[in-house]
Amino acid sequence: MPIQLIKPTVNIDFVGYRKIAYILTSLVMLIGIFAIVMNKGLSYGVDFAGGVMVQIEFKNPVSDDEVKSALKDIEMPGLIVQKIDDDNNHYLLRFSASESGHKNLRQDLNKTLQESFSDNQVEITRLEMVGPKVGSELRDMAVEAVFYSILLITVYISGRFEHNWFTAAGIAVLLWGIIFILDFLSTQFNIVFFNKMYAICFALVVTLILSWKAKLNYSLGALLSLIHDVLVTLGLLTLFGKEIDLNVIAALLTLVGYSLNDTIIVYDRIRENISLIQKQDKKPSIGEVINLSANQTLARTLMTSLTTLAACLSLYLLGGSVINDFALTMLIGIIVGSYSSIFVASPILMAFGDIDLYVSQQTKGEEIEKPGAHGVV
């Protein structure tokens, strides 16, 4: 007899628990924001803050403390010594540096390491320098990548579920223009208080307001869900003392797509159920439709999340320290994303619209596609 994780007759009142979910969501987001504020912002790695990465290899195992002690006389501000294998033979050094500093770093390191480990063969296998200016540019590009991915997702959701491609595309072009103009003004007039992060946060707020005013509730729900996922994940990473580097950004972009996939599955089932009831004289409430749809897709959501979690957990435990931050970001994000697809994205539909609004949107879409064409198995 096959094992059923979720019985077909399950009927959880997700809408009834929404107030508890809102409190939990607000609490977790406040903890994340508090952690970022107390840390005086996100902790950026060498990729974004600028600095030096050095990989060294020893013939015989050595400890972290021995490596730190050997390098204490070399100027390495903010030195982090990271073991990258289980044999204590390979280490990664990361520390801050200026554009003009450390001209003879390789020679100084070689000399110091050879003197400190005279009975052990040691070799510098990798040395990379990232200047502060280059790091800042990479950081801005990474933030833009996350923002534009979310923005394009908003356009897609609006077009697919609300059949309002032109309005959503117009909003996207407007926001791109805002970012472009602010960036241009800061470059031409040297506006020192301009920050790409602030501009993008402003653009996201404008996106939320415009989506609400245009009654793009599917887009609004998906956008709030994605903002929730990214903010909570970054906050928890800061709380755990993790640095934000290219690995974390890659994981965040992956999570944006993963979380959106969960949201689309639920939205698709909501749309199908609305299609089935739109000709009924007595229609159920949008809350009842959301509950029905969330329960129908619950088994699929849980099974997908659990299998992906198992893979990420294996990466975290067995993948080595170099990939730990990527795996940890994925672990946090998968849990947060699965939660938000049910308790953040879906209840937004109920908060900003009734069943008649969504039935009218469904009727409008029937001119373009047949009901049930995007069925969920």
What pLDDT, on a 0 to 100 scale, did the predictor assign at position 244? 84
Asked if 233 and 95 sit in the same domain, the reply is no
Query: In degrees, to the nearest 5, what angle opens at C-alpha 211 toward C-alphas 206 and 215?
Result: 150
**Domain boundary, last residue among 73, 96, 130:** 130
Asked if 94 and 146 sit in the same domain, the reply is no
What pLDDT, on a 0 to 100 scale, did the predictor assign at position 50? 73
**Domain boundary, last residue among 98, 130, 162:** 130
pLDDT at 6 over 80: no
Confidence of residue 332 (pLDDT cuts 50, 70, 90): very high
- Rounded to whole angstroms, the Cα distance separating 158 from 76 reads 50
Confidence of residue 271 (pLDDT cuts 50, 70, 90): confident
**Domain boundary, last residue among 90, 109, 130:** 130
**336-353: average pLDDT:** 86
- Rounded to whole angstroms, the Cα distance separating 110 from 124 reads 7
- Rounded to whole angstroms, the Cα distance separating 366 from 184 reads 43
What pLDDT, on a 0 to 100 scale, did the predictor assign at position 353? 77
Percent of the chain with pLDDT over 70: 85
Tokens at 139, concatenated: 């950081």
Q: What is the pTM of this model?
A: 0.77
What pLDDT, on a 0 to 100 scale, did the predictor assign at position 191? 59
Span 91-125, pLDDT tens digits: 888 777 654 455 677 788 888 888 888 888 888 88
Q: How many CB atoms lie within 10 A of CB 219?
A: 30
Residue 4 falls inside a structural domain: no
- Rounded to whole angstroms, the Cα distance separating 377 from 373 reads 12
**235-251: average pLDDT:** 85
Q: How many CB atoms lie within 10 A of CB 47?
A: 23
Confidence of residue 315 (pLDDT cuts 50, 70, 90): confident
Asked if 342 and 328 sit in the same domain, the reply is yes
Asked if 167 and 112 sit in the same domain, the reply is no
What pLDDT, on a 0 to 100 scale, did the predictor assign at position 85? 67
Span 177-188, pLDDT tens digits: 877 777 777 767
Q: Rg of the Cα trace of the chain?
A: 25
CATH of residue 35's domain is 1.20.1640.10
Q: Which of 89, 147, 151 shows the shortest CA–CA distance to 123?
A: 89
Alpha helices in the chain (DSSP H): 18-38, 46-49, 64-70, 105-116, 132-161, 165-189, 196-213, 217-239, 246-277, 286-318, 324-340, 346-351, 355-365
Asked if 260 and 282 sit in the same domain, the reply is yes
Select the more confidently predicted residue: 251 or 197.
Answer: 251
Percent of the chain with pLDDT over 90: 3
Confidence of residue 28 (pLDDT cuts 50, 70, 90): confident
20, 83 contact by CB (below 8 A): no
Asked if 84 and 202 sit in the same domain, the reply is no
- Rounded to whole angstroms, the Cα distance separating 238 from 211 reads 30
CATH of residue 73's domain is 3.30.70.100
**68-94: average pLDDT:** 77
Asked if 126 and 171 sit in the same domain, the reply is no
Least confident of 178-192, 268-282, 319-333: 178-192
What pLDDT, on a 0 to 100 scale, did the predictor assign at position 128? 76
Residue 12 falls inside a structural domain: no
- Rounded to whole angstroms, the Cα distance separating 234 from 225 reads 14
Residue 308 falls inside a structural domain: yes
Q: Average per-residue pLDDT in the chain?
A: 79
pLDDT at 240 over 80: yes
What pLDDT, on a 0 to 100 scale, did the predictor assign at position 330? 92
What pLDDT, on a 0 to 100 scale, did the predictor assign at position 19? 85
Least confident of 24-33, 43-52, 56-65: 43-52
What pLDDT, on a 0 to 100 scale, did the predictor assign at position 364? 65
DSSP three-state, residue 103: coil
- Rounded to whole angstroms, the Cα distance separating 337 from 255 reads 7
- Rounded to whole angstroms, the Cα distance separating 229 from 333 reads 7
Span 186-221, pLDDT tens digits: 767 665 555 677 777 777 888 888 888 888 888 888
Residue 106 falls inside a structural domain: yes
What pLDDT, on a 0 to 100 scale, did the predictor assign at position 174? 82
Structural domain that includes position 95: 51-130
Residue 375 falls inside a structural domain: no
What pLDDT, on a 0 to 100 scale, did the predictor assign at position 371? 47
Select the more confidently predicted residue: 372 or 260.
Answer: 260
Asked if 184 and 300 sit in the same domain, the reply is yes
What pLDDT, on a 0 to 100 scale, did the predictor assign at position 377? 43
Report the relative pairing of strands 80-83 and 90-95 from DSSP bridges.
antiparallel
Residue 298 falls inside a structural domain: yes
Asked if 177 and 199 sit in the same domain, the reply is yes
Number of domains forming the structure of the chain: 2
Asked if 182 and 139 sit in the same domain, the reply is yes
220, 348 contact by CB (below 8 A): yes
- Rounded to whole angstroms, the Cα distance separating 149 from 147 reads 5
Asked if 340 and 272 sit in the same domain, the reply is yes
Residue 372 falls inside a structural domain: no
Sign of CA dihedral 230, 231, 236, 239: positive
Residue 337 falls inside a structural domain: yes
- Rounded to whole angstroms, the Cα distance separating 362 from 289 reads 14
Backbone phi and psi for residue 236, each to the nearest 5 degrees, phi listed first: -70, -35
Asked if 152 and 95 sit in the same domain, the reply is no
What pLDDT, on a 0 to 100 scale, did the predictor assign at position 329? 92
Beta bridge partners of 122: 58
Tokens at 364, concatenated: 């409008």
235, 248 contact by CB (below 8 A): no
- Rounded to whole angstroms, the Cα distance separating 16 from 174 reads 37
